[in-house]
Amino acid sequence: MAPICKKAVVGNVTIDVAPLETISLELLLRGDERERMKLYAAAGSLGFFYLDVSDSEKHLTDVERLYSITENYFTQPEQELLKDIRENDEFRGYKGGKNWGSLEILRDDVNFSEELLPPIIQADSATVESFISTSHEIVHLLLAQLSKSLWPNSEKHLQDKHRATERNNSSLKVYRGPSLERRADVGDNTHTDGGSLTLLYTDKWGTQIELPWSKEWAWVEAKPGHAIVTVGDTLQALSGGRLYSCPHRVSQPVDGFEERWAVTYFFRPENNVSLVPL
Ligand SMILES: O=C(O)CCC(=O)C(=O)O
Ligand SMILES: [Fe+2]
């Protein structure tokens, strides 16, 4: 039976809240088999779930720090932001407009050179690197656990398409918005994530997912101490459809300007991986 959505009241509207499972990072780290099965079920049904990272204090401190780094970055004069545009580069640099924007920093670039960070972020390179490296460990743990559930008695591993020796486009991406006077002005941005797994941290409503059983939209609640994890197209393809890449979009539940910051880690496979079952 399809799960029932809880309701929440935001301003003067009542919204449906997406029924996401919560998976404990701590239990996965301890090798808990039931938690591994819960992870597999969540990744194969909604393809969106919470990861409870509340025991990872350093990581959560990095996330908090990144919210202020993000705010400082986007409240610079526009001419500074425009310097970070990387034309024709899908994965790097600043993209944006009035009251919204994103900045993407590739993990391989930061490993290579700190000077590739925008000047206002260079003093915080230790936070950036620490967030990226912990996020990378977390997603690799999820990948290994999902592989074990997908192919319990075989030599196949999702990790074989995510080798440390190969270049890939994994990145830190931070966001401003959407935060507009009129909710109706937020453009449709429905998409699935192309990569393998996304970790999202935010403290406000914004993310909406399309429930696979009803095709209705439901809002993902922001929960302190939890990452919102998304399964991307790559894992859906490599798993032969047993993992689900769920359509989602970003909006705002009500009219009215309210700043929203989000910090994400996009975990992507080795460059040139074919999107076919392993
Ligand atoms: O900001 C968000 O809530 C999600 C952003 C997102 O879905 C994406 O960039 O792929
Ligand atoms: Fe997305």
Angle (nearest 5°) at CA 112 between 108 and 114:
105
* Residue 136 pLDDT exceeds 80: yes
Give the residue-averaged pLDDT of 115-132.
94
pLDDT at 177 over 90: no
Distance from Cα 82 to the centre of ligand 2, integer Å:
23
The domain spans of the chain are: 6-267
What is d(CA 15, CA 13) in angstroms, rounded to the nearest whole number?
Answer: 6
pLDDT of residue 82: 96
CA distances (Å), origin 197, targets 48, 64, 73, 98: 10, 21, 25, 29
**Arithmetic mean of pLDDT, 190-213:** 97
- Entry pTM: 0.97
Res 165: pLDDT: 93
Spatial distance between the Cα atoms of 94 and 112, rounded to a whole number of angstroms:
19
**Percent of the chain at pLDDT above 90?**
87
What per-residue string of b and e applies to 4-33 under the rule 16 or more CB within 10 Å gives b?
ebeeeeeeeeebbebebbebbbebbeeeee
Share of the chain above pLDDT 70, in %: 100
Ligand nearest to the CA of 227: 1
**Mean pLDDT, residues 184-200:** 96
Distance 70 CA to ligand 1 centre (A): 15
175 CA → ligand 1 middle, Å: 8
Helix (H, G, I), strand (E, B) or coil at 177: coil
Mean pLDDT of 116-140: 96
Q: In sequence order, what are the residues at sequence separation of 6 or more whose Cβ sits closer than 8 angstroms to the Cβ of residue 50? A: 20, 21, 22, 23, 223, 226, 227, 228, 229
CA dist., res. 170 & res. 136, Å (int): 9
Average pLDDT of the segment spanning 102-107: 96
pLDDT of residue 19: 97
Which pLDDT value is given to residue 97?
Answer: 83
Superfamily of 6-267 according to CATH: B-lactam Antibiotic, Isopenicillin N Synthase; Chain (2.60.120.330)
Choose the weakest-confidence range: 52-61, 75-84, 159-168, 254-263.
Answer: 254-263
User: Considering only CA atoms, which residue is closest to atom 5 of ligand 1?
Assistant: 250
Q: Are 196 and 245 in contact (CB under 8 A)?
A: no
70-82 burial by CB neighbour count: b if 16+ within 10 A, else e? Answer: beebbeeeeeebe
Phi, psi of 239, rounded to the nearest 5 degrees: -90, 5
Residue linked to tokens 């959560």: 60
Is 271 in contact with 214 (CB distance < 8 Å)? no
Average pLDDT over residues 79-93: 95
Q: What is the pLDDT of residues 217-262, one digit of tens each?
A: 999 999 999 999 999 999 999 999 999 999 999 999 999 878 999 9
Question: Contact 222/205 with Cβ under 8 angstroms?
Answer: yes
Q: Which atom of ligand 1 is nearest to the CA of 207?
A: 3
